[in-house]
């Protein structure tokens, strides 16, 4: 079934320059943007205009002192905000627009102007905390978008799925004490940023609404398929989100220089297909993805395009391939441990 898929991208995102040799460079998006400029792609997707997030919108998730600190880098050729995170003259502009793209993606799918959306942005966001930058991230794009969905659209239940190689510490901390967001993360552990342990499940009203699946590395398509089918799916069906947001990192791709996972473009297509089906069954199809990591330039481009094909419904993973992934999943101790932890709060089969 064909769907209206919005793709949010901008040349401004290429202007953020963290310095020579940095893995989070504009080259991550340049090839993908060239592909999306082809006439065939222009006809497949919607390419809406969008605006930067203003200070009040950013302040839904960040301290104004933090916003001012990042804003203070505007026009400066180089600033070091933390050991991993650097800015150039237009980084603040790009970061505001990245958060604005995530917000616009939410507005599009909630407003029915698109069935789903993918914000192809940089700098990434899921490591950014309330009051500090971290791990290449200036503002937490997906957390700002979720806060916007709650404040401006009155949503009470949002599912955030983070499949990046690295744990989304900033996103977890943003919603650790609320049941209005169910945060589900798969990530390599122990690894940067050091958070995302099995026992981190939330606090207060949010206890049980953070589910971490820390993985040792080396997991492939079949392993991730099993996690999504046997753990994420029953969680989502019980939580019944009104919106699904995805921190889509492609550094779990086999061959990425920062990790040891073994996911392929077929695996990303499969995971996206699971999320599309969940969204269609639970929240009217409302699904928005936001780009996070991914540092092998060629394979990241293929992974993103595979996800876009699943979102649009015009390049679905063949049924035989889907069945093979569903049947091939080996025993996975890390998932079994996460399942037992989740059972303290949810009804999970197995």
Provide the annotated active-site residues.
127
- Give the pairing type, strands 243-248 and 85-87: unpaired
Residue keyed to tokens 């940089």: 122
Helix runs in the chain, H state only: 27-36, 39-44, 55-58, 64-71, 91-111, 141-153, 169-174, 221-227, 233-239, 265-282, 297-312, 319-328, 333-342
CA distance 166 to 189: 8
CA distance 243 to 116: 10
Contact 312, 44 (CB under 8 A): yes
Going 26 to 28 to 34 to 40, the CA torsion angle's sign is negative
Contact 284, 244 (CB under 8 A): no
Strand partners, 182: 159
Dihedral (C-alpha) 242, 170, 211, 257: value to the nearest 10 degrees? 110
Contact 183, 157 (CB under 8 A): no
């Amino acid at each position: 079934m064909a769907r209206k898929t919005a793709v949010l991208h901008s040349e401004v995102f290429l202007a953020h320059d963290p310095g020579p040799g940095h893995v989070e460079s504009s080259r991550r998006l340049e090839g993908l943007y060239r592909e999306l400029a082809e006439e065939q792609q222009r006809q497949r997707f919607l390419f809406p205009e969008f605006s930067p997030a203003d200070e009040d919108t950013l302040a839904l998730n960040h301290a104004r002192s933090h916003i001012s600190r990042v804003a203070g880098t505007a026009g400066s050729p180089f600033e070091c905000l933390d050991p991993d995170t650097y800015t150039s003259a237009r980084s603040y502009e790009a970061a505001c627009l990245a958060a604005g793209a995530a917000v616009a993606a939410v507005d599009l799918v909630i407003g029915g102007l698109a069935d789903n959306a993918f914000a192809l942005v940089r700098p990434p966001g899921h490591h950014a905390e309330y009051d500090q930058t971290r791990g290449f991230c200036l503002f937490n794009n997906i957390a700002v978008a979720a806060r916007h969905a709650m404040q401006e659209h009155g949503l009470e239940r949002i599912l955030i799925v983070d499949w990046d190689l690295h744990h989304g510490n900033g996103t977890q901390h943003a919603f650790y004490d609320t049941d209005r967001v169910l945060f589900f993360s798969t990530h390599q552990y122990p690894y940067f940023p050091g958070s995302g342990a099995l026992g981190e499940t939330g606090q207060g009203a949010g206890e049980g609404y953070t589910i971490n699946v820390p993985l040792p590395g080396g997991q492939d398509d079949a392993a991730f398929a099993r996690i999504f089918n046997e753990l994420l799916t029953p969680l989502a069906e019980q939580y019944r989100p009104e919106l699904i947001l995805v921190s889509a990192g492609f550094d779990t791709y086999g061959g990425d220089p920062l990790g040891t996972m073994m996911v392929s473009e077929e695996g990303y297509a499969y995971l996206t297909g699971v999320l599309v089906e969940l969204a269609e069954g639970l929240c009217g199809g409302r699904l928005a993805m936001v780009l996070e990591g991914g540092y092998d330039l060629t394979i990241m481009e293929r992974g993103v395009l595979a996800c876009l094909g699943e979102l649009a419904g015009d390049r679905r993973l063949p049924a035989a391939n889907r069945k093979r992934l569903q049947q091939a999943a080996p025993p996975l101790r890390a998932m079994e441990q996460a399942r037992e932890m989740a059972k303290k709060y949810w009804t999970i089969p197995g």
